[in-house]
A = this chain, B = another copy of it.
């Protein structure tokens, strides 16, 4: 039988999305056979992430600094705020280098199925941020999924009374598409054609 240490590692890996119990066991054996070239680097990378990364108190990004590099970047237009579901979406948009403003990470999307309610997302913090002033336009960059669009709709209503222009990504996004999975061209087009929420 494998030792308790190996069982614990197998179970921890099996909980990652994309890995089941079977592939987690394969991954563990891969690591055990390559202590120096695989296990060591993975352990070090995890420890570094665990030690150094913090959640940005302003936007919810994950970075080594708080506020994060995006929020501290003086070249970015503080009047433009892009609201995304997840940190991955912030990175996807930031990789494209097409959005010159700042971000706000909701930490998820409204979902009746998964029991995610408005108070589970950083919506109050978003409203406070906008209420603090200096923001002209809020771009709702939710995924083009049912839940993403429900969230965008909800946010648009909450933002209605605030003195900001609310826009959303143009629906060039493929139906069911998730931001993190799109190529730069599609993202660029959707950003360029962003339009006011009607």
Contacts and interface: CB of A to CB of B under 8 A. Distances in A.
A158 interface: no
Contact of A9 (B29, B39, B48, B95): B48
Interface stretch (A13-21, A159-167, A185-193): A13-21
Contact of A91 (B1, B23, B42): B1
A116 to B, nearest CB: 13
Contacts of A48: 5, 8-9
A27 B35 contact: no
B19 A49 contact: no
Main secondary structure of the interface of A (DSSP, over half): helix
Q: How many copies does the complex hold?
A: 2
A12 interface: yes
Contacts of A30: 16-17
A137 interface: no
Interface of A: 1-3, 5-6, 8-9, 11-13, 15-19, 22-23, 25-33, 35, 38-43, 45-50, 52-53, 62-64, 69, 86-88, 91, 94-95, 107, 180-181
5 contacts: A1-B94, A8-B41, A31-B46, A32-B62, A39-B50
